[in-house]
Amino acid sequence: MSETEVSPGPSALGSPQARALSASAWQSVRPAMGLVSRVPVGGPLALQVAKPVLNASLAALSPAPKGTRVSTVKTRFAGGQVRGDWIHEAARHGGSIPSPDSGRSILYYLHGSGYLICSPRTHRGLVARLVRRSGIGAFSLDYRLGPRHRFPAGGDDAIRGYRWLLHRGFAPEQIIVAGDSAGGHLAQDLLAANHRDGVGQPRAMYLISPLYDPSFEMACALERSGVRDPYIDAAGARRMLRMYTGDADRDHPRMRVQLTPDMNLPPTLIQYGDREVMADDARAIHANILAAGGTSTIAPWRNQGHVFQMFPYFTPDSRKALRDAKDFLGRHL
């Protein structure tokens, strides 16, 4: 395990000049996002070219707050590997990673990616802001991505990471699971696996622009109805996802995860932007939780796109949404 302290980027200063710089940088990264979302059928090479640029840009545009400490984990567990970052504030608990013995809650974070891009590093700023606002630590999982690894490798890693936390001594009621985009799909898969295997469910769940349908047919249908996402081309994103899902049946129980009334589902908060093509995915998950007898609050954010919470220097709604998330987390610590 290695540990580093993260310094904020220039946009973390919050000055008008820094915000203008961030806005300019955002305009420069959008072409890379467009390239990735429009990868042709034979697109692994295009993905290989665009991925480092996109990941580095996202990390720079969503900096971690000053005082954030990161401890990297790479270990073997249950016949596989667990990789990820402990993210916590240096000033809290002597700068040490969260301990099960403290009785305090932790956040188990599953980053978005389309199952192809991003990492705990790209989402470090978002997770660190959630940690700082809620006063807890987080473990951000580094799961396997396509096209090198295919469905359900990422889901298997998310399940293994949760059970590694239990093995370390954390009780299920100490863990709040959170995820954005594809990470929201992983979170649903985790709940179904816990039920299947008799493992305790996390205390609560927070989802940002979550994915329900990895075939992306729901998103394509919403786009054909006239919705224009500022960042995601649905048809291109569907081709991207196939680099991970391959020929998996869209009705495979781990593709469109079914939540049933016999499951002990945690209370859930779902946030999404009303301009994104994955809005129907968020609404479907909310409806599924309610139909299964669970508790879910869904919050559409007007004129916002996909995972806008990552970028606090582009829109004040990012900070407002995270304050709402903090309030939700605080009720379940």
In the chain (333 residues long), the average pLDDT of successive 10-residue segments reads: 49 43 48 49 73 90 91 97 92 72 94 95 96 88 97 98 98 98 98 98 98 96 90 88 95 96 98 95 98 98 93 90 96 93
**Amino acid code (one letter) for 208:** I
The whole-number pLDDT of residue 83 equals 98
| Ramachandran category for residue 297: left, alpha or beta (phi over 0 → left; psi -120 to 50 → alpha) | beta
What pLDDT score does 86 carry?
97
Return the amino acid letter for 35. Answer: L
Catalytic one among 181, 209, 296, 318? Answer: 181
The yes-or-no answer on residue 276 being catalytic is yes
Cis status, amide bond into 147, omega within 30 of 0:
yes
List the catalytic residue out of 88, 123, 185, 306. 306
Write out the two tokens for 318: 């990012």
H/E/C letters for each residue in 136-202?
CEEEEECCCCCCCCCCCHHHHHHHHHHHHHHHCCCCHHHEEEEEECHHHHHHHHHHHHHHHHCCCCC
Catalytic, 252? Answer no
Q: Catalytic residue among 276, 286, 296, 318, which?
A: 276
> pTM for the complete prediction?
0.90
Q: Are 107 and 134 in contact (CB under 8 A)?
A: yes
Burial 136-151 (b: 16+ CB within 10 A, else e): bbbbbbbbbbbbeebb
| Cis-peptide into 152, omega within 30 deg | yes
Q: Give the pLDDT score at 255.
A: 97
- Write down the pLDDT at residue 44: 81
Of the CATH numbers 3.40.50.1820, 1.10.357.10, 3.40.50.300, 3.10.129.10, which one belongs to the domain with range 2-330? 3.40.50.1820
Residue 28 CA to residue 158 CA, distance in Å, equals: 32
CA atoms within 13 Å, Cβ hemisphere of 254: 17
Res 1: pLDDT? 60
In the annotation, is 306 catalytic?
A: yes
Closest CA to 111 of 75, 138, 89: 138
What is the total residue count of the chain? 333
Contact by Cβ (8 Å): 172, 201: yes
pLDDT for position 48? 84
Q: CB within 8 A of 39, min separation 6: which ones?
A: 46, 47, 50, 236, 239, 240, 243
SS3 25: helix
Q: Can you give the pLDDT at residue 13?
A: 34
| pLDDT attached to residue 236 | 87
Query: What local confidence, expressed as pLDDT, does residue 295 receive?
Result: 98
The predicted pLDDT at position 79 comes to: 95
